[in-house]
Structure 1
Amino acid sequence: MTGDPGHAPTPPPVSEGPFVSREEFDALFAAVRTWGRWAAADRGAWNRVTPEHVRRAAALVRSGTVVPMARPWDTAPGPDNSKPALHFMSDLGDVEPPEPATHKDFIAIDYHGKAVSHLDALSHVAYRGQLYDGRAARECVDAGGARFGAVSALGPLATRGVLLDLPTALGVAWLEPGRAVHAEELVAAEQALGVTVGEGDAVLLRFGGLRRRQERGAWDTGAASAGLHVDVMPLLAERGIALLGGDGDSDVRPSPVEGVHSPVHALAVAAMGVPLLDNLDLEALSAASAETGRYTFLLLVAPLNIPGGTGSPVSPVAVL
């Protein structure tokens, strides 16, 4: 199922197989987990990024072009935005203050969802009651926030970003909702785009969902979206990635795994310790990469320093 701008089919209600039993998924979880690998466990796979990784990433900068990847702050409700962001003015400068007058505003968001570009920290996902590194979720996360795996433990990240532009590699406008991307297709995309994912890399996946939304309108992305099949995760674990993200939330929906609604989240965050970037806008980066023929770049991600936070809204940038 690929995108054809000429017509507007309803997103399919099922994802492409093969379907995975809970027992098979548990075996996969055990195979890719990295528990006990790092002393700074709540930084997870970000421990892989060394100063040498940063220097090599900085050497990729040629034109100095900065490409933002955050979606606009979305205050409009819709089928893919059930909890709209808040934005209102708290000071209009209309009371006789001493000069200069000031204008102030208030913003707030329940950002884990389908509309806001955000980072998932390691406290965001538990599988079978356990966070990354085998920590008991009920002992680590309560009404006061997370005491393990908080976003404040991550800090900023600078590393090599790799854009796997799947529609470009496949020669289509976008991947239709429900389309599962498999491991062999990811390898084929590397070959088509002239890149190889390596240790410490941040892998960004363009499925083209945002372009589809712009051309055909919003739909319930929680019910149907293009994304990764779980058979991709051993490949990414072998490559030793530090971060995974995309223009969706990386999971194909509906889930191909029995009883697990977000299996890629479970494998990446809870098993591999890989934070996730969700809901990016990769359209400008796709265009810039196609123009230059380069799909690697310096990636900068700076989450908010929220003690106890399970993640953060972010505005990542690629520097070409």
Structure 2
Amino acid sequence: MSNDTGHGHHHDSGHGHRHESGHAHHHDPADLDWDAIGPLLEQNAELSTGQYTAAARWIAGLPDAPEVRRVLDIGSGPGVIACLLAEVFPEAEVVAVDGTPALLERTRDRAKRLGLGDRVTTLHADLPGDLARAGEADLIWAGNALHHMGDQRAALAGFAGLLRPGGTVALVEGGLQPRHLPRDIGFGRPGLEERLDVIQAEAFEQMRADLPGTKRETENWAALFCAVGLAPQGTRSFLLDLPAPLTDVARDHVIADFTRRRGGLGDRLDAEDNAVLDRLTDPEDPAGLHRRTDTFLLMARTFHLGRKA
């Protein structure tokens, strides 16, 4: 199961919506208010830039790694990671590949603001069908994107087909689900977040089942790399550890996350847990997330690398 907190709209409530948020990322994009969602995705991804920067530097420092001249960021969301990759790989062109024009526009605006407009470009593409249009690359970065494709093995083979000799696929899949609160928050039954995890896992399975052409796949990423002709290059997890008290930006992220979960999972929760979520998201409740002093953000993302001979 994958954590979706921090990259584009496929990936994370920061790349945006979490799976428990009602799967907004599978709705018709025209139905969504991207003017409201885009800034949230961008802000959420920015919270995780330390994780992503550390991972990108790990990739850049691999023994015998070829020079990276072209990068594809698959499912790029608002472009936070694409711009970060352009900074870590200063000789590379980075192509942000996404299916939502509004997010690609945010990517272009961000790149221009950061002085990266000449090296960060965008490609509007429906994935995985339009993958071939992305062209060759030395690095393909897929942050919590592969599990949104029904036939993951075929999609990974498509990634492999675009790699130049010596090129790398970096999959962000798995890790540890976020924690934000103590086990016992002083009201309701202890263990709220663990119960939400169970429901999220069920929602994730339903999301996978509803994808076009979905196929069950053992999530042994090293074995899948081998199956599509790539050599596994290692797996590492990177921690996001924001202790209490949180900054205002991080607190806003947590509040938005719980608000989404209240809206997206409420019909799967019992009355007591719904009442707890109502209190947690109430700005006036002294025990709510707006005022608690013990709210934190702790999570891990796992990166799996495969290289083309």
Q: Which bin holds the TM-score, normalised by the shorter protein?
A: under 0.3
TM score, norm. by length of structure 1: 0.25
TM score, norm. by length of structure 2: 0.26
Q: Which has the higher helix share?
A: 2
